[in-house]
Amino acid sequence: MAELDPYTGPWTRREASHLLRRASFGASLADIDKVVADGRAASLDVIFTPLPAPADPIDPLTGQPYTTGQLDLSRGFQYYNRITKAWWLSLMYGTTRSIHEKLTLFWSNHFATEMTVVQQPQQSLLLLKYLRTNAFGNFKEMARQVTIEPAMLRYLNGNVNTKGSPNENYARELQELFTIGKGKEVAPGDYTTFTEQDVQAAARVLTGWRDSRMGTTVQFVDRQHDTTDKVFSQRYGNTVIKGRTGQTAGNAELTDLINMIFDQPATSKHVLRRLYRWFVYHEITEDVERTIIEPLAEQLRSGGWNIGPVLKTLLSSEHFFSANMMGSQIKSPADFLVGTLKAITTFTPPTDATQKNQFYDALSISMAALQMDLNDPPSVAGWEAYYQQPDYDRIWLTTATLPLRNGATDSILVKSRGLGRPILDTIALTRTFTNPEDPYALVDEMNIRFFAVPFPDATRERLVLEVLLGGSGLAYDWTTEWQAFLSNTSNTQARQRVKLKLDTLYRYMFRMAEFHIG
């Protein structure tokens, strides 16, 4: 059976939750059950259906979008960037059974920029919206367009790249990170996929582009463009890009540059490795390279560089649903925080515009503390968890971030500032369970809602007898207490007894090592 053949094994809550956890940011039990009922093929069709464009983010002080018109610079550019981050988090949380936002996050990490460096909120938002609109689309066209997006021009100094002083920053990252990838160094300045000569030649191709300082438009200034021929190395077959003149020169030479890069098989393989590490697993063995990366790369090239069908093949495959892929990733901060909130179906975020922005802004700050600051990765290479070997996703868990993760899940059990209530009311959520009076069934349902892998029998037993019952009771004692509470829910003492036990159980389970894998 080929690794990329469509999965034909059991279709249970476990497989459905694996799909939703990787394709999105977790799911409610209702979403999981919907995917089980609809089946794998139909569910994947839904998951890979592009979503409509959302309304632009709103400035809570004006009640209007800030995407057009003049910004109030007295508030600082970070004020508007925080609104963008809060807005995007609301989309991540509010999207069900769709890969759209997760894929947009992938592209924002692949074509990485830093809002704090760009310092123009409208340009940063424009790039984010472009990546979202084209998330399923043509990777080749994306690489071309991102090259002349105003935020990227500003971030990697393309806006100061002139014939008299070529700037190589973007030309290098276009090849090393965004398209063909940096192969092994075989000689000084020669990386098997491109050379320093190619960086220099590409920089000359890209001379003359400018962003508008306070706007979202770009222009090509022909007098600042290098009109001479650009000669590339043997890595590109000694290609010569003919120098042009006039207003069409910039677009014409950019098209030639992108065509040259995308003619190389290494380009499709590079982006497939990035997608694999994001959605499946960090380790790419020789076998994975041969059975997964290479055939998908061929599908990408033959399919006109459209990402959606290729990624759907991967996430439909026997390989993706194999047992050793489930629970094989450390959750990113987005998966950890947003996924936890999605599983708490008794919680509803504020709907008032100001309170909503405050809520998601606080969530954004928490995510940044866990080392995933949306649209502000550490560098142009993106977040280290997706490229830094040998640790990869283990980078998300450190002596600094683990206590913060524990603090984040502890905090959802207490009254949240600005909400006036806890995010997680353990009694309310537990009452939605199928059989909460049975302590083992309770732990089993918590497992399927919040965890990627089933508990061993010994762990299950410990959670019931030692954590829920505090080591001083038998399983039926919980049944008796829960039933006594249900018989008179206004009894304060009965409520407090079950709440104390449930709070202890949830807090403990959210601190388990297994809670951090997805």
pLDDT of residue 417: 63
The enclosing H or E element of 230 equals: strand 230-231
Burial track 403-434 (b if 16+ CB lie within 10 A, e otherwise): eebeebbeebbeebeeeeebbbbbbebbeebe
Three-state DSSP state, 47? helix
The structure's pTM equals 0.96
How do 218-220 and 230-231 pair as beta strands?
unpaired
> Which residues contact residue 451 at a Cβ distance below 8 angstroms, ignoring those fewer than 6 apart?
327, 514, 515
Q: Is the pLDDT of residue 1 over 80?
A: no
Distance in angstroms (rounded) separating the CA atoms of residues 101 and 129: 11
pLDDT of residue 418: 63
For residues 25-37, give the mean pLDDT: 95
- 62-88: pLDDT as tens digits: 999 998 778 998 999 999 999 999 999
Distance in angstroms (rounded) separating the CA atoms of residues 209 and 148: 7
> How many residues are recorded in the chain?
518
Distance in angstroms (rounded) separating the CA atoms of residues 327 and 512: 14
- 475-485: pLDDT as tens digits: 899 999 999 99
> Which residues contact residue 150 at a Cβ distance below 8 angstroms, ignoring those fewer than 6 apart?
120, 123, 126, 127, 211, 212, 215, 216, 217, 218
pLDDT confidence tier of residue 385, bands split at 50, 70 and 90: very high
DSSP 416: P
Q: Is the pLDDT of residue 215 over 70?
A: yes
Q: What is the mean pLDDT of the chain?
A: 96
Percent of the chain with pLDDT over 70: 99
What are the two backbone dihedrals, phi and then psi, of residue 400, each rounded to the nearest 5 degrees?
-90, -40
CA distances from 223 to 156, 269, 320 (A): 21, 37, 52
pLDDT confidence tier of residue 438, bands split at 50, 70 and 90: very high
- 292-337: pLDDT as tens digits: 999 999 999 999 999 999 999 999 999 999 999 999 999 999 999 9
- 137-195: pLDDT as tens digits: 999 999 999 999 999 999 999 999 999 999 999 999 999 999 999 989 888 888 999 99
pLDDT of residue 27: 93
Q: Is the pLDDT of residue 490 over 80?
A: yes
